C-alpha cells in the first residue's frame, strides 16, 4: 500500500512504548489488543509519512504547525476521555472502559473545522502583566512560569511546541 509497510518489530516497539507511557502517566489503552495494534501501525505510518505521529483517525496536512494539535496524544484526548470514555481513536480509554465495565461511546470530532482553525490561529493572544510568562501544556494542562516553555513537558513529555502562552 504505497510504501506504507511498517516492519512488525517497529509496530511491536510502538505498542510497548504506548503501554509504558500510558501506565506511567495514569492512562489506559483500549483492552482490544488488535485494535491497539492497528492504531500503533497508523501512528508509525504517520511518523514515517509526516515526521511526527499524528492521529491515525484524522487527516494531517503534513505541516507540523498546522497538525500540532493532533499529534498523539492530541490536545483533545483528556476532554474526550472525560466525556465519552475514550479518545477520538479509542486508543486511550477511561479506567471503566479499560476494565470492561462500560463500552466507549462514539466520539464526535471536537477539533475545530478547517475554517475555524484558521480564525483561531489569527486571533490575538491575551496577555496580562506578570513577572514571567506562564506557559500551558495543551496536552495535560501543566503550567509553568518561565521565559520559554521547557523542551519537554515534565508531566506528560509533550514537546516544547505543544505549549501555549497562558498568561
Partner 1 sequence: MVQMVRVNGRNRGDIRLYALSTCGWCAKTKELLNSLGVEYSYVFVDLLPKKELEDTLLEVEKFNPAGSFPTLVINGSRVIVGFRETEIREALR
Q: Which is nearer to partner 1, 57 or 167 (CB)?
A: 57
Q: Which is nearer to partner 1, 3 or 131 (CB)?
A: 3
For the CA atoms of 22, 23, 27, 28, the dihedral, rounded to the nearest 10 degrees, stands at 90
- The residues of the shown chain that bind partner 1, judged by CB under 8 A, are 1-2, 4, 35, 38-39, 41-43, 45-46, 56-60, 89-91, 106-109, 111, 113-114
Instruction: Enumerate residues 6+ apart whose C-beta is below 8 A from 58.
Output: 70, 74, 88, 109, 111
Q: How far is the CB of 154 from partner 1 (least distance, A)?
A: 30
Q: How far is the CB of 113 from partner 1 (least distance, A)?
A: 6
Q: How far is the CB of 161 from partner 1 (least distance, A)?
A: 22
Q: Which is nearer to partner 1, 90 or 153 (CB)?
A: 90
Neighbours of 141 (CB within 10 A): 12
Q: How far is the CB of 5 from partner 1 (least distance, A)?
A: 12
Q: Which is nearer to partner 1, 105 or 145 (CB)?
A: 105
Instruction: Enumerate residues 6+ apart whose C-beta is below 8 A from 160.
Output: 148, 149, 150, 151, 152
Q: How many CA atoms lie within 13 A of 151 on its CB side?
A: 0
Amino acid at each position: 500500500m504505497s510504501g506504507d509497510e511498517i516492519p512488525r518489530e517497529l509496530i511491536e516497539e510502538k505498542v510497548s512504548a504506548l503501554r509504558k507511557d500510558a501506565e506511567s502517566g495514569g492512562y489506559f489503552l483500549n483492552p482490544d489488543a488488535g485494535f491497539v495494534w492497528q492504531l500503533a501501525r497508523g501512528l508509525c505510518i504517520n511518523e514515517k509519512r509526516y515526521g511526527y505521529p499524528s492521529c491515525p483517525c484524522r487527516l494531517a496536512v503534513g505541516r507540523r504547525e498546522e497538525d500540532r494539535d493532533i499529534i498523539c496524544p492530541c490536545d483533545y484526548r483528556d476532554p474526550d476521555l472525560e466525556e465519552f470514555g475514550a479518545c477520538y481513536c479509542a486508543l486511550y480509554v477511561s479506567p471503566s472502559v479499560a476494565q470492561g465495565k462500560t463500552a466507549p461511546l462514539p466520539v464526535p470530532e471536537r477539533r475545530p473545522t478547517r475554517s475555524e482553525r484558521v480564525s483561531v490561529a489569527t486571533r490575538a493572544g491575551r496577555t496580562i502583566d506578570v513577572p514571567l510568562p506562564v506557559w500551558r501544556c495543551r496536552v495535560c494542562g501543566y503550567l509553568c512560569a518561565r521565559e520559554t516553555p521547557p523542551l519537554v513537558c515534565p508531566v506528560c513529555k509533550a514537546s516544547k511546541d505543544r505549549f501555549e502562552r497562558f498568561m
